[in-house]
Amino acid sequence: MSKFKQLYKPLLDDARWQSPQEIAIEGTAFGPWLLEPDSLSRRFQRYCEHFTVTLLEQRVIENQQLQPDERALLGEADCLLRKVVLKGDGVPWVFARTLIPQSTLTGQEQDLEQLGEMPLGFRVFTDRSARRDALVVANLRDDKHPLWARRSRLWVNDKPMLVAELFLEQAPIYAKETLRWN
């Protein structure tokens, strides 16, 4: 198992998701990252020369393997599970885990299965129908040394997928100078 999956998958699985209002992140340095409604990949591109995605794993999982809240957001279909690390200039910034129901992988969206190392956000957010909802956030550590994660549902052509993103220690979200750019 890769270092990322071993270290970060359990953290994401145990995340205690809360609404952004509950955590009151609006107006903080982290807010613009965690609340980004558009593509996170595009936002990251502004902070590096080379933005890349490393595919760690992709496989189909049965609907019974989903958590109850994931099933409530995605429905009863089996899902394609995609795990990646997003990197800026080779530095790991985000561990992301996406669930794409088989019922989403139909028609124009069949290509989502073949993304490989192309960022999901580049594909989804070029579609005019793309939107994001059900955004929740979690601090997986403490206030002094936060480790942020967020989970949201993306829709393309009214078909859902669920993306959980864990912002790793070296991500620009934690750099003081990001304040200048937001």
Ligand X SMILES: C=C(O[C@@H]1C=C(C(=O)O)C=C[C@H]1O)C(=O)O
Q: What is the binding site for ligand X (CB under 6 A)?
A: 39-41, 53, 82, 84, 86, 94, 96, 98, 119-121, 163, 165
Contact between 70 and 162 under an 8 Å Cβ cutoff? The reply is: yes
165 labeled binding residue = yes
- At closest approach, how far in Å is the CB of 68 from ligand X? 23
Rounded to whole angstroms, what are the CA distances from 74 to 65, 85, 170? 13, 23, 31
- At closest approach, how far in Å is the CB of 161 from ligand X? 9
120 labeled binding residue = yes
- In the structure encoding, which two tokens stand for residue 120, read together? 């999901």
State which residue, 109 or 165, has the beta carbon closest to ligand X.
165
State which residue, 25 or 86, has the beta carbon closest to ligand X.
86
- In the structure encoding, which two tokens stand for residue 57, read together? 């794993």
State which residue, 15 or 94, has the beta carbon closest to ligand X.
94
- At closest approach, how far in Å is the CB of 55 from ligand X? 8
Least Cα distance to 55 among 9, 95, 111, 103 occurs for 95
State which residue, 61 or 76, has the beta carbon closest to ligand X.
61
36 labeled binding residue = no
Enclosing H/E stretch for 96: strand 91-101
Which residues partner with 151 through β-bridges?
136, 164
Q: Which residues make Cβ contacts (< 8 Å) with residue 132, sequence separation at least 6?
A: 37, 152, 153, 154, 155
Residue closest to ligand X, measured at CB: 121
Feature table: binding site for substrate: 82, 120, 165
